[in-house]
């Protein structure tokens, strides 16, 4: 699987509205309970899911692990991300739509097209990546749609991970050592 994103809206989007929108955009409704619809291209696939309940549950679950240093850090990250989303939207987020891509350029093209159409229908909207700030492109995991489309217009893709790390294995080893030094493994 490739990257995942959330389109986060200020205004309500119901699962039924999303499914109708997927069909209007040429997608297919998926019978899988973990996905609402799909878009296919040669060497590409975009899966779309109304994910508000799962996202809220994930955020609330971060509160369940605050007795560890890692849990405190992760909860802090979740709430910082929510604050960035609310700031970019101009109010608290209402709904979350998950975009899951295969790791191919064709999948990115499908995601950009879907996001452009989605934003025309549900504005304001922001894009949240599934990456932490240290791994995210430009050190951002919440993007205004203008900023996300700036990258899309130049590189034909949505924001992804950092491009300055040559050896990801070494980077993660260093991160793990730093976490051990902070006592996050306790």
Q: Which residue has the higher pLDDT, 70 or 146?
A: 146
Quick one: average pLDDT of 168-182? Answer: 72
Specify the pLDDT at position 6. 95
Cβ atoms of 122 and 18 closer than 8 Å: no
pLDDT in the model for residue 1: 66
Average pLDDT, stretch 152-168?
79
Angstrom distance (rounded) from CA 100 to CA 34 = 11
The pLDDT tens digits for 15-64 are: 999 999 999 999 999 888 789 999 999 999 999 999 998 887 777 766 66
Whole-angstrom distance, CA of residue 86 vs CA of residue 8: 10
pLDDT in tens, 111-158: 999 999 999 999 999 999 987 777 778 888 899 999 999 999 998 888
Read off the pLDDT band of 163 (50, 70, 90): low
Residue 90 predicted with pLDDT over 90:
yes
Q: How many domains does the chain have?
A: 1
For residue 73, name the pLDDT band (cuts at 50, 70, 90): confident
Residue 33: give the domain boundaries: 4-182
User: What's the number of CA atoms in the CB half-sphere (13 Å) around residue 23?
Assistant: 7
Residue 184 has pLDDT above 70, yes or no: no
SS3 138: helix
Q: What φ, ψ does residue 54 adopt, rounded to 5°? A: -65, -40
């Amino acid at each position: 699987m490739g990257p995942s994103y959330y389109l986060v809206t200020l205004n309500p989007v119901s699962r039924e509205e999303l499914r109708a929108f997927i069909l209007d955009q040429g997608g297919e409704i998926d019978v899988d309970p973990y996905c609402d619809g799909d878009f296919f291209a040669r060497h590409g696939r975009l899966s779309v899911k109304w994910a508000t309940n799962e996202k809220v549950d994930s955020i609330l679950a971060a509160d369940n692990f605050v007795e560890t240093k890692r849990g405190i850090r992760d909860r802090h990250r979740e709430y910082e991300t929510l604050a960035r989303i609310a700031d970019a939207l101009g109010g608290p987020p209402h709904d979350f739509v998950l975009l899951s891509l295969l790791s191919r350029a064709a999948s990115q093209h499908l995601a950009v097209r879907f996001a452009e159409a989605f934003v025309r229908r549900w504005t304001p909207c922001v894009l949240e990546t599934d990456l932490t700030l240290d791994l995210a492109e430009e050190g951002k995991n919440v993007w205004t749609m203008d900023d996300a489309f700036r990258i899309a217009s130049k590189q034909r893709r949505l924001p992804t991970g950092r491009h300055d790390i040559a050896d990801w294995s070494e980077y993660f080893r260093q991160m793990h050592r730093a976490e051990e030094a902070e006592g996050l493994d306790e």
